Structure 1
């Protein structure tokens, strides 16, 4: 029996699309470049971006 292919890492978009002064989305914490490249990234790249997004959110006081 063949193994099921894992689902791709989902986009962190929360439909709050507004850029701050550093061109970081205030909703998902991705940069413009990260947003535009998301569909071409593999899952490892996406996980790395999600880690950076989490760090940005923590630094901005958006998460505990």
Structure 2
């Protein structure tokens, strides 16, 4: 069983894929626990397109190179 904690609620899923899909749809900070491991974060940013996240927010991170 995969447990997803959001705020004070716990939701259970049969597979990690189901838990991740739910967390992506939620779009908020969650903690996923399975097999003694914990994965935390806000899931859903699958990629950057035209300088924006899928939710429309601008992607502004730039790598700075040292010389």
Which interval holds the TM-score relative to the shorter structure?
under 0.3
Question: Which of the pair is proportionally richer in helix?
Answer: 1
